[in-house]
Amino acid sequence: MFFSWCSIGFSGDTPISHRNGVLRIEVDDKLVVRNGNNSLVWSSSVLGSSNNAATKLFDTGNFVLSRDDSIGDLNRALWQNFNEPTDTFLSEMRVPVSSKGGEHRAYRSWKSSNDPSPGNYILALILMEDTG
């Protein structure tokens, strides 16, 4: 199975050179990416530990980390890439909007077709307060 970094929530700020990166579920149920030196490159934000986590790639492109007993229930997912946009917008994704001040998630272009570090273009929705 092939995963594109841009579609699983990996920002590309610290790209892995070569092809020796590893995507795995750690003991604390976090989904992590490690480079060839086993250094942490990226980690999902998961609280708690059940030691029985599993992943599923849905037909929509949503890559989900859940406990084994709730793998098909997106409302009980521990983490899902559709909630952490990077540079790819798939047909069933939503543009995340938060009413909390200063909090927003954005889609950001790559610097170039060969460089996944953040580029010059951003897509985001930001709620503005009604002052009227």
Q: pTM of the full predicted structure?
A: 0.67
C-alpha 10/C-alpha 87 separation (Å) is 10
C-alpha 101/C-alpha 27 separation (Å) is 34
Region 71-91: mean pLDDT is 82
Token digits for 30?
A: 């976090």
- Phi, psi dihedrals of residue 75, rounded to the nearest 5°: -70, -20
C-alpha 29/C-alpha 57 separation (Å) is 17
- pLDDT of 45-55, one tens digit each? 776 666 688 88
Taken in order of first residue, the domains within the chain and their CATH numbers are 5-123 (2.90.10)
